[in-house]
Amino acid sequence: MKKLLYGAALLAAGIMTMGGGVKAAALDNGPNCKAAYSCDYGSGTVIYAKEETKRLPIASMCKIMTLLLSFEAVDSGELKYDEMITVSENAASMGGSQVFLDAGLSYTAEELLKSIAVCSANDSCVAIAERVGGSESAFVGKMNARAKELGADNTLFANCTGLPKEPQYSCAKDVAAMLRELLKHEKYFELTKVWMEDFHHPDGRIISMTNTNKLIRYYEGCDGGKTGFTNEAGSCLAATAKRGDMRIISVVIGASNSKSRNAIVSALFDEAFNGYEDHIVLKEGEEIDRRASVKGGKVKEIGLCAASTLSAFGKRGETGDLTVEYELKELKAPVNVGDEAGEAVLYRDGVEIARTKLIAQEEARQYSWWDALREVAKNWN
C-alpha cells in the first residue's frame, strides 16, 4: 500500500529547545501578535488580555465551533460516532489541510472528527458539516447561531473550515469562550491528544496524521487545542492545559510564525500556573456538613453533596475571605439519590463569585399509611 506523509514536521521549529527564557520573553512589552487572551476554565476569570475583542480572521480555529456542533449533535442523538458518512464532491474538493477524502467513499463520523481535531482536515470538516447541517451553508448558520448563544458577539463564520472568505472574523475572547464550551465534551480530549496516527481509507490508502498542536507533546499539562494559519490570519493557536485541579485556556491570533505562537501560549500558561491558584472549597461529589430536612418521608433528613467543584480562582495568596452559604429546597418525599436539593453559594469578601447545585446522596421514601399503622401497632405493643 502506498503511504502518503501528511502533517507538520515532528519537531516544530524551536519547540524542543525553547527554554524558559524564550517563553518568558514572549510576554515582555506585550506578546508579538495581533491579539491574545488567557483565562481560567472553571470561573472564566481573565488572566491576560490584549486586543481581546478585536475582530480578526482566525483561520482553522473556527473548527472549534465545527467540532462543538458535531459533539452536540452526538449528544442529542442526531449523529453517531460509528455512523458511515459518504463524502460529497464538494467535500473532496477542499484544498489546504486535508486527509484526501475521495468522493463517494464512506467513513465513520469518528474518523472524520479525529482528522479534524488532529490535523485540521478541511475535507473532513465539510463532510461532517454537510451531514449535520444538510449543507455547509446551513451548518454555518448553526455555527453563527451557537456563537450568539455563547455571547460571542464579535464572531461571524462564512464557512466551517476557516479558509479565507469574506466576511468572516472572530476575536481572542470569543475563541476562548468557544473552546471553553468544547472542553465540556470528554470525547474531544480523546481525539485531540492523539500525536501521530494513520488515517485509513476504504480503498487501502493510508495517510499519516500528525497533530498540528505541538504543545500537546511539549508543554506539561497541555491536552487540547486548535491551531490555524492563513496569510490573512497569521499563526494562531487556542490551547488548554491542566495541572492539578486548575485548567487554563490561552489564545493567540496573528503571531509571526508557529514558533512564536507556541512561545506566547506557553508563556501565558506559565503566567497562570505560576502566579494563580484555584482554591477548592467543595469538591464534586463531596458531602457537605449540612443535611436537608424531608417532609413526609420515612427518614427525616438526608445527606447532600456538591454537583460540581466549587472553587475560588485568583492570584496566589490573595483568595480573600471565602464563605459558603447553603440555599436548601423544601423537600417532600419521595426523594431519590441525585435529585436536586438546593445550591451552595460561594462568596469572596461578601460578593458572590460561584455557585453549584446540591444533590441528594440518600433516598427518602414516602411515609405511607401502612407505615403509620405499623408504627401505631409497635407503640401499642
Would you name the residues annotated as active-site residues?
60, 63, 120
Please give the Cα distance from 264 to 267 (Å, whole number).
Answer: 5
* Phi–psi pair at 314, nearest 5 degrees: 180, 180
Find cell 491576560 and name the residue: 48
Any idea what DSSP says for residue 381? -
Reduced to 3 states (helix: H, G, I; strand: E, B; else coil), residue 373 is: helix
Radius of gyration in angstroms for the set of CA atoms belonging to the chain, rounded to a whole number: 25
Reduced to 3 states (helix: H, G, I; strand: E, B; else coil), residue 175 is: helix
Burial 84-102 (b: 16+ CB within 10 A, else e): ebebbeebbebebbbbebe
Angle at 54 between CA 53 and CA 59, to 5 degrees: 105
For residue 85, what are the β-bridge partners? Answer: 107
Position 81: which residue type? Y
65: part of which helix (H) or strand (E)? helix 63-75
- Among residues 38, 26, 18, which one has the least CA distance to residue 218? 18
